[in-house]
Structure 1
Amino acid sequence: MLVFAKKKSVQQKIESLKKATSIGFVPTMGALHKGHLSLIERAKKENDLVVVSVFVNPTQFDKQEDLINYPKTIEKDLSLLKSVFCDIVFAPSAHEIYANNITSQAFDFDGLEFQMEGKFRTGHFDGVGTIVKRLFEIVKPTKAYFGEKDFQQLQIIRTMVKKHQIPVKIVGCDIYREDDGLAMSSRNTRLTKAHREAAPFIYKTLKQAKVKFGTENALDVVGWVENEFKKQPLLELEYFEIADEETLQTIKNKDIKQKYRAFIAVFAGEIRLIDNISL
């Protein structure tokens, strides 16, 4: 496994290995867990070369304290990457990516950026678009792998790739869960014991909402979920929405020709957790 901190070095290495080679790319912010490793394992199966980036991107944090508190575990991350036979790791500094101008590019994601997470995290998706576009330009992957836990982000990246005509195939991968159903996240390590014990309620409620959506209208399902969370003193519901998978627009009435997904954001103490489920 080769580790690079400089754009030029990693580009030169990839270029030297690129002849008739497919490149799988997994962008991460480090604090790796089994969910990340599952993306890398899939990339290994589908490509000749796998590149993983480890970079805590400052422009996608809407709160400075979240950036400061985000877990940084580079030594452990490198050990995990080695265990799944990652070929190349790109772990740049913020200066290497942004020089002296740590700001986001402004994007138009066809309105996807104004739904759900966009309502609560100002500028977040411009930051995501900025870093992912720059990493694509550096690595030039054949395929890039993203988990469906951040489904809105996945759809936004698909839109960006299409609009900017970036030659990469975006692959969405199933949400990787703990044994009790909690979606794996780097933030889970920051949960208190009590909040960690309460958190599986999120996925349990999503599964029940999915069943209800089969026979009830969307607004009634939303109302039911909101009431369920009122009974949970350790979990505070920020939003629960049922949306069209393509447009991410909140729906009021079902259309059998459309695909829908339920999205949720919950505070467990100070830690914000998100999840979703296909309906």
Structure 2
Amino acid sequence: MTGGPDLTYVYAVVAPVPRLDGPLAELRGVGDAPVALLSPGTTPAGPAFAVSRVPAAQWAEEVLRSRFEDLAWLEDTARAHHHVIQVLAEHTIVLPLRLATLYQDGDRALEALRDGQDAFAARLALLAHHSEYGVKVYVVPETGPSDAPADGRAHPTGPGAAAPSPGKAYLQARRAQRHAREDRYLQAGQAAERIAAAAARHATRTVRHPPQTGPLTRREKGENVLNDSCLVPDDRAEEFRAALRQADRDLPGVRIEVTGPWAPYSFATPPTRSAGTDAPGTPS
């Protein structure tokens, strides 16, 4: 590998503004490296990269393959990456890039920036005065008694009614539980679409992510049935939240979680890869 002992780590594309000077002077990123702006200089107000110089010995492609398997390192790096983007987003428009987007040197990064200037500028214009909000809908776990008897037996319901056999009672109880669960999820799906429609009325764009899964999520929050990201104009943020509060009414067994405002990660799709751009962790 040529180009010196350091690589150029890129956090985001930003619209340079004078008020960034103060935060940048103290901002630290991955590996506690200083953060600076890298600009082609042709258009002072045009898109720039927020970058750090990082040691090639720690960030080269062959090293990253093993480091990405180190969960503690990955968590620290993701937190530092996110911190830089959030600080920048408080002062200007930000187009977040993927974790470990690396170039062999500043010249390669500038080449990618020049190649993508028009597309980056269009994306920044789209994101101006907008923030990302997460909208998640959960089916709340049942905490009360189920429709089926707790002992798994179907008890007589009428005068002189005889109790069914234990095997038949068990099957009846299981069938009742299954039908109750199916009804619950059908209602939750309908509620999720109602909530998504309410959110979309106040959002410029919406991205639907796969529902979050896993025993920890289900145990703590319930089963996730909607996982949307909404790009919301800053001057409509309160209307957006109010609409979701209204949609949440009269929906038993369903819980809405609204997060944000965030930097617009879900809407920061970079331009089509050109000869100067890299996949994360692959210095050019």
TM-score range relative to shorter protein:
under 0.3
Report the TM-score when normalising by structure 1. Answer: 0.21
Which has the greater radius of gyration?
Answer: 2
Q: Higher RCO, 1 or 2 (CA under 8 Å, sep at least 6)?
A: 2
Report the TM-score when normalising by structure 2. Answer: 0.21
